[in-house]
Amino acid sequence: MTNSIKQSGAEQDRVYIFDTTLRDGEQSPGASMTLEEKLQIAELLDAMGVDVIEAGFPIASNGDFESVSEVAKLMKNAQVCGLARAGAKDIDRAADAVKHAKNPRIHTFISTSPVHMKHKLQMEPDEVMEAIAFSVSHARNHVENVEWSPEDATRTDRDFLCATVETAIKAGATTINIPDTVGYTVPQEYFEIITMLRERVPNIDKAIISTHCHNDLGLAVANSLSGVQAGARQVECTINGLGERAGNAALEEIVMALNVRNDAMPQWTNIETTSLARASKLVSSVTAFPVQYNKAIVGQNAFAHESGIHQDGMLKNNQTYEIMTPESVGISQTSLVMGKHSGRHAFREKIKALGYELGDNQLQEAFTRFKDLADRKKHVFDDDIVALVDDEVAKGADRVKLVSLRVIAGSEGPQQAMLKLEIDGKESEIDSTGDGPVDATFNAINALFPHEANLQLYQVHAVTEGTDAQAEVSVRLEEKGKTVTGRAADTDTMVASARAYVSALNKLLIKREKQAPDSLTA
């Protein structure tokens, strides 16, 4: 059993963690994030020791370009990477986006499998080969740190794969990523592919080999670890395994597998494991993608012991049923915190312990809300404070604000909402009815601020236990193919619902200003 936070070992066993939550993760339908949310996640990834952050696909939209560029300016240690297809326009845009990073990286890719080349690219293999040489050397004209990926590598002809990798390295690629784009491979096969590249590509020692495994068969983590055993030294992964379709390899699972089973796998990462739970919560709440209860490492039940036999064993010695401690992944056993008598100093210390750095104004706002919450709620837990602070940090310069809400609910309909909003500094109010209190509240918002967006998701989740728990509400809106997720927490579910809806509207207003310059086809 290990409680160690970081492991260090021989340099040749060091595994670089490449996080693509903000790029591949954001490609999950409905997982779109605002600039502020991306920066919040990126700062945490940087602080916890992630080596490379893939912050977006700069050509995809002005919003993506801006996020890559802002993440690049902000990161203290992590390399910042922008994704680009094989054309000059994509690569130039990516170069422009990462140019302020301390260590900028361009990640360029093209498909190499027969099915992708024929049907998606409609290119012959020799044309693909030319595009590889061109794209990598073009990227190298901008930066020294160039990653190249043969998309759908695991369904690519093996001889062709070796030839493409050799060409990419010759053109200057410093990292060769081997994507299992459709989550098709199995651990033994992936091991053999990486081994084959190490044995057959003559210049392979000039590049780091990377894994990028999708989870369509539930094998993403196993395949990635198998790649590492075969000699890969970078793993591409995402927090909570977020990503296209069934997602990517989960960062927290890769890191903890290497950490806990260091006896079986000598490879190590530089990740501060005590930040894993916090990162999981943040990504889950920003995207409104719940973490399954029995998810490894960060699920609500990952350290819960229900059966009498297990509880008895745990009381005698926790090694009986725990292979790692909750503390080692940042889950605090003593999460009961403060009440209404707690002062500002204790609050500031708590915020720090939870991994936040707030400016004076944000701290003051958060403290006022904490006091208000402590007046209404008997026990304020760590999770309450996390919800409250995330809520505060997510707030921008909102054009629409909730001033007040009164709701009449009950068995005698119609339910009614009396709502006051401030829109661009001017207050207006309305009474609306609806089929239930949520419907009445949302109708009132629509009447005061008419818009065309469709409601895609309305989700309520209790932050802690008990009837006085805060409700954390997520509202996802869609307008012309763009989605945004608003969230808010309050002990009153209706107030949280109204604030979450208003927050989504504010995000939509920002998104409207950032249109895509180019439609994306690979």
Interacting residues toward Zn ion by CB under 5 A: 24
Angstrom distance (rounded) from CA 236 to CA 227: 11
Q: Is 465 exposed, middle or buried (0-12, 13-18, 19+ CB in 10 A)?
A: exposed
**383 binds ligand KIV per the rule CB under 6 A:** no
Q: Among 442, 400, 449, 444, which Cα is nearest to 423's?
A: 400
Angstrom distance (rounded) from CA 418 to CA 137: 62
- Output the six-digit token pair for 490: 């309050």
Q: How far is the CB of 134 from ligand KIV (least distance, A)?
A: 18
Are the beta carbons of 15 and 228 closer than 8 angstroms? yes
Nearer to Zn ion, 24 or 478 (CB): 24
Q: Choosing among Zn ion, ligand KIV, none, which partner's interface includes residue 486 (Cβ < 5 to 8 Å by kind)?
A: none
Residue with tokens 């989700």: 459
Inter-residue long-range contacts of 165-169, CB under 8 Å, 24+ positions, other chains counted: 165/197, 165/201, 165/204, 166/201, 166/202, 166/203, 167/129, 167/132, 167/133, 167/136, 168/132, 168/133, 168/136, 168/207, 169/201, 169/203, 169/204, 169/206, 169/207
Q: Among 84, 183, 167, which Cα is nearest to 125's?
A: 167
Q: What is the DSSP string of 389-443?
A: HHHHHH--S-SEEEEEEEEE-SSSS-EEEEEEEEETTEEEEEEEEESSHHHHHHH
**24 binds ligand KIV per the rule CB under 6 A:** yes
**476 binds ligand KIV per the rule CB under 6 A:** no
Q: Choosing among ligand KIV, Zn ion, none, which partner's interface includes residue 151 (Cβ < 5 to 8 Å by kind)?
A: ligand KIV
User: Which residue number has the CB closest to Zn ion?
Assistant: 24
Nearer to ligand KIV, 87 or 326 (CB): 87
Nearer to ligand KIV, 287 or 416 (CB): 287
Q: How far is the CB of 24 from ligand KIV (least distance, A)?
A: 5
Nearer to Zn ion, 24 or 252 (CB): 24
**Single-letter code of the amino acid located at 308:** G
Nearer to ligand KIV, 38 or 511 (CB): 38
Q: What is the DSSP string of 164-223?
A: HHHHHHHTT-SEEEEEETTS---HHHHHHHHHHHHHH-TTGGGSEEEEEEB-TTS-HHHH
Nearer to ligand KIV, 109 or 442 (CB): 109
- Outline where 56-124 has alpha helix (H): 62-74, 88-98, 114-115
Contact stretch for ligand KIV (CB under 6 A) within 28-36, 177-185, 323-331, 456-464? 177-185
Q: Choosing among ligand KIV, Zn ion, none, which partner's interface includes residue 63 (Cβ < 5 to 8 Å by kind)?
A: none
Angstrom distance (rounded) from CA 204 to CA 118: 27
Pairing outcome for strands 454-462 and 145-151: unpaired
Q: How far is the CB of 158 from Zn ion (least distance, A)?
A: 21
Q: Which of 32, 156, 181, 416 binds ligand KIV (CB under 6 A)?
A: 181
Q: Choosing among Zn ion, ligand KIV, none, which partner's interface includes residue 142 (Cβ < 5 to 8 Å by kind)?
A: none
**151 binds ligand KIV per the rule CB under 6 A:** yes
Angle between helices 220-229 and 251-260 (to 10 degrees): 50
Nearer to ligand KIV, 37 or 180 (CB): 180
Angstrom distance (rounded) from CA 255 to CA 273: 8
Q: How far is the CB of 72 from ligand KIV (least distance, A)?
A: 19
Q: Which of 212, 233, 482, 507 binds ligand KIV (CB under 6 A)?
A: 212
Q: Choosing among Zn ion, ligand KIV, none, which partner's interface includes residue 278 (Cβ < 5 to 8 Å by kind)?
A: none
Q: Which of 16, 18, 65, 109 binds ligand KIV (CB under 6 A)?
A: 109
Q: What is the DSSP string of 330-372?
A: T--S--B---TT--HHHHHHHHHHTT----HHHHHHHHHHHHH
Q: Which of 49, 56, 82, 179 binds ligand KIV (CB under 6 A)?
A: 179
**149 binds ligand KIV per the rule CB under 6 A:** yes
Nearer to ligand KIV, 212 or 281 (CB): 212
Nearer to Zn ion, 25 or 434 (CB): 25
**155 binds ligand KIV per the rule CB under 6 A:** no
Q: Choosing among Zn ion, ligand KIV, none, which partner's interface includes residue 109 (Cβ < 5 to 8 Å by kind)?
A: ligand KIV
Total residues binding ligand KIV (CB under 6 A): 9
Whether the bond into 104 is cis, omega within 30 of 0: no
Q: How far is the CB of 83 from ligand KIV (least distance, A)?
A: 6
Site string for ligand KIV, 271-310 (x = CB under 6 A): ----------------------------------------
Q: How far is the CB of 111 from ligand KIV (least distance, A)?
A: 8
Are the beta carbons of 15 and 235 closer than 8 angstroms? yes
Q: How far is the CB of 54 from ligand KIV (least distance, A)?
A: 9
Q: Which residues are at the interface with ligand KIV (CB under 6 A)?
A: 24, 109, 149, 151, 177, 179, 181, 212, 214
